[in-house]
């Protein structure tokens, strides 16, 4: 009989948290490298902002669709299995791009097919890693804000290292080197989840009561259970709408507007990496502060202020023709504000969603919030082609400001602070203790 069994509860363990965050770190870093390398490759080879936007559309459409539809599979198969298998397939598809290009066998349509496969696999893979965060928080016995804050730090570190490495590789070696690195990070992420996570982590979800959308039900009833829960949460729906619009604007900015600005201004691909690195560093600082103190801060105020400084100023400073040091200063402030967003969003989500519905609701909410992303690059490319870079940047900044400011007037947003709680974490801890008791009794 172990000490934890005598005490009546499982021992505190940081290993699941370290494993999940490690897998997130390597796969997201590779994705950020690819986010610099792939658009630059398309822009350099085609000379077309529209085609660059099309590449983003081809990757993100399967991403959003697969994330929306694979929630029940994540709940039924378990996030661990889904994570390592999808990362392995993504690694193979990403590696084929430089291999075929080196052999002169990569026409544009074949590139788009491989990019679509990567997007198709990334959706459930990213979902699965995120679903394991609250379970890891239970094992580590930390508040949800702290666990999601650490996940945010991991994402921000990837957003710092990835663009810097990607910009450097593209400038010094070429975009294909970035795509090779992307394949390697997918493979490493798959290995971490499959081999290094402790046994029992990321198992299939078990419903609290029969008929609640658990593993014994069919796919469509499970999906409907997720939709039914999401419809009953006005705060979550309001957040999803706002984040959906800002995501559309962000992806257009990252995949089209920023590369075109770098090209037209003469700054080159290194400027893309530098702006991303500066924003990433300050975002890490913001995320670390959020991880430490977010559970004591007024969520609504911090959330809206974070969006205010991280959104519109980036668009407008590029449109103004400001010198590079001013651009970097604006991106630094934007990164700091953005560091507070995901810890608050993640904590709200994991508090309110029952653990046995986590995969489905997470998949549906993320896919709805990401629904505009496939169009972001296409719309940005069309805007640049139709009106020019500066008007497109100004329009994006104005729309970003209006979206993030008007959202704060919605009455549902007051629930951010009213309904702060630890219900989901407590439920998860109770499940662990019950499982430990059953094991000890046997």
Distances (CA, A) of 59 to 64, 246, 251, 256: 9, 18, 12, 14
Q: Which two tokens stand for residue 29?
A: 């870093």
Is 66 inside any structural domain? yes
Is 297 inside any structural domain? yes
pLDDT for res 423? 43
Is 7 inside any structural domain? no
Is 5 inside any structural domain? no
Burial class (CB in 10 A: 0-12, 13-18, 19+), 409: exposed
CA torsion 164-165-169-172 (nearest 10°) is 60
Is 4 inside any structural domain? no
Residues 185 and 31: their CA atoms lie apart, in Å, by 8
Query: What's the domain range around 272?
Result: 14-205+212-441
pLDDT for res 140? 78
Which domain CATH number covers 122? 1.20.1250.20
What count of other Cβ atoms lies within 10 Å of the Cβ of residue 208? Answer: 13
Q: What is the mean pLDDT of each run of 10 residues along the chain (442 residues)?
A: 43 80 88 84 80 83 83 84 92 92 88 92 88 82 76 77 80 84 90 81 60 57 83 85 90 89 84 84 84 74 86 93 92 90 78 79 80 82 91 94 81 68 44 40 36
b/e code 102-122 from CB counts within 10 Å (16+ = b): eeeebeeeebbebbbbbbbbb
Quote the number of domains for the chain: 1
Is 305 inside any structural domain? yes
Is 8 inside any structural domain? no
Helix boundaries (H) for 256-323: 258-265, 269-293, 299-310, 312-319
pLDDT for res 72? 83
pLDDT for res 214? 44
Is 1 inside any structural domain? no
């Amino acid at each position: 009989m172990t000490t934890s069994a005598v005490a009546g509860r499982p021992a505190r363990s940081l290993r699941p948290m370290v494993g999940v965050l490690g897998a997130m770190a390597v796969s997201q870093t590779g994705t950020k490298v690819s986010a610099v390398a792939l658009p630059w490759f398309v822009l350099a080879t085609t000379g077309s902002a529209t085609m660059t936007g099309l590449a983003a559309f081809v990757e993100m459409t399967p991403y959003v669709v697969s994330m929306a539809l694979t929630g029940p599979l994540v709940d039924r198969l378990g996030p661990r299995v889904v994570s390592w298998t999808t990362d392995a397939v993504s690694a193979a598809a990403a590696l084929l791009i430089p291999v075929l290009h080196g052999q002169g066998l990569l026409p544009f349509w074949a590139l788009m097919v491989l990019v679509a496969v990567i997007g198709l696999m990334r959706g459930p893979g990213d979902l699965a890693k995120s679903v394991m965060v609250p379970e890891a928080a239970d094992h580590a016995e930390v508040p949800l804000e702290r666990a999601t804050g650490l996940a945010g730090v991991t994402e921000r570190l990837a957003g710092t290292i990835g663009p810097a490495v990607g910009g450097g590789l593209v400038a010094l070696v070429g975009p294909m080197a970035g795509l090779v690195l992307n394949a390697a990070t997918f493979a490493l992420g798959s290995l971490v989840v499959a081999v290094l996570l402790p046994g029992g982590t990321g198992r299939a979800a078990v419903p609290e009561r029969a008929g609640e959308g658990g593993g014994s039900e069919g796919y469509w009833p499970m999906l409907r259970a997720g939709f039914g829960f999401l419809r009953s949460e006005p705060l979550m729906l309001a957040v999803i709408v706002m984040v959906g619009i800002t995501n559309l604007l962000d992806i257009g900015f990252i995949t089209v507007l920023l590369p075109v600005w770098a090209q037209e201004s003469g700054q080159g691909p290194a400027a893309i990496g530098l702006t991303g690195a500066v924003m990433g560093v300050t975002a890490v600082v913001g995320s670390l502060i959020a991880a430490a103190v977010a559970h004591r801060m007024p969520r609504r105020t911090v959330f809206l202020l974070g969006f205010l400084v991280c959104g519109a100023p980036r668009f407008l400073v590029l449109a103004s023709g400001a010198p590079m040091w001013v651009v970097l200063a604006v991106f630094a402030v934007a990164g700091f504000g953005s560091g507070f967003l995901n810890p608050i969003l993640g904590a709200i989500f994991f508090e309110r969603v029952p653990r046995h519905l986590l995969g489905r609701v997470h998949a549906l909410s993320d896919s709805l919030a990401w629904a505009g992303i496939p169009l972001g690059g296409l719309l940005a490319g069309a805007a640049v082609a139709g009106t020019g870079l500066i008007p497109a940047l100004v329009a994006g900044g104005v729309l970003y400001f209006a979206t993030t400011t008007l959202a704060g007037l919605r009455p549902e947003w007051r629930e951010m602070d009213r309904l702060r709680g630890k219900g989901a974490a407590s439920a998860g801890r109770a499940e662990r203790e019950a499982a430990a008791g059953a094991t000890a009794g046997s």
